[in-house]
Amino acid sequence: MKSIFRHVALIGKYQTVASGASGAFSRNALEDIAHFLHAQGCEVVFEHDTAHNMGISGYPVLNVPAIGAQCDLCLVVGGDGTMLGIGRQLAHFGVPLIGINQGRLGFITDIPFDSFTSTLAPMLRGDYEEDHRSLMHARVMRDGHCVFDALAMNDVVVNRGATSGMVELRVEVDGHFVANQRADGLIIATPTGSTAYALSAGGPLLHPSIPGWVLVPIAPHTLSNRPIVLSNAAEIAIEIVAGRDASANFDMQSLASLLHGDRIVVTRSKHHVRFLHPKGWSYFDTLRQKLHWNEGVA
């Protein structure tokens, strides 16, 4: 039985230029996957920058918007950072994504490269689990005007400057004043992002099915300022009250410098990311493997 997906795109870690032994391995890995997909009856295209940076030829190339418009599946080969960037760009097209891990942790690129043939074969025939992840829509408002606009799958982080002291932030939820917080910063994380920076700052793990966000202070001045889980239907606003050189970043991949009085307004995006996982996939299996739970237990 051939693949139910006819037009499949391959995207690698295209932000860096492949060189040396690691570059050759990445190029060979992508070509191995392309050959496998072709043998399964798929029409294979490469994302333009991936093909250019990896020196891959002999396949059609498309940019990301064209992949979203023309392809019915996208395979992302790399780490979670690669998947985050592509997931945001393809979310409004509704193209499902499969992640093949060549990074370190691999919470959302969860298929090991060394088992991609045995894992992908049944998935291409329709034997998979589908997993939807919510996105945040963040805007930086200055004097009533939007000066920066971004989507985030993991988190929105407001940070103090590298050489300055704490920032003071006014936090509102659905227009209701919550508190003024003095801290090194504040994280708003999705369930997907609850295993990233928010976790290292003391936040809880959120199961992906929970329609919520977690608000996590970074090194708060008042120790009773603790993480709180909020509905993702809420609008969260963070205003810069005091502190120098504050900034906001979105999935650690885009940045906006902030002034006093700027407001970072975060709402739920109308788009979500579609992940496909092998049949029988469980979020708890991922946590157990990536966080090394249960090790040393007889």
Catalytic residue list? 80
Which positions ≥6 away from 93 have C-beta within 8 Å?
68, 69
Per-residue CA distances from 193 to 162, 219, 251 (Å): 23, 18, 8
Distances from the Cα of 158 to the Cα of 72, 168, 197, 238, 250, angstroms: 36, 11, 12, 8, 9
If you ran DSSP here, which 8-state letter would residue 46 be given? E
* Strand-pair category, 255-257 with 97-101: unpaired
What does the alpha-carbon distance between residue 224 and residue 226 come to, in Å, rounded to a whole number?
Answer: 6
- Phi and psi (nearest 5°) for 149? -145, 130
Q: How far apart are CA 3 and CA 123, in angstroms?
A: 8
The strand order across the sheet containing 255-257 reads 228-231, 212-218, 185-189, 155-159, 247-250, 255-257
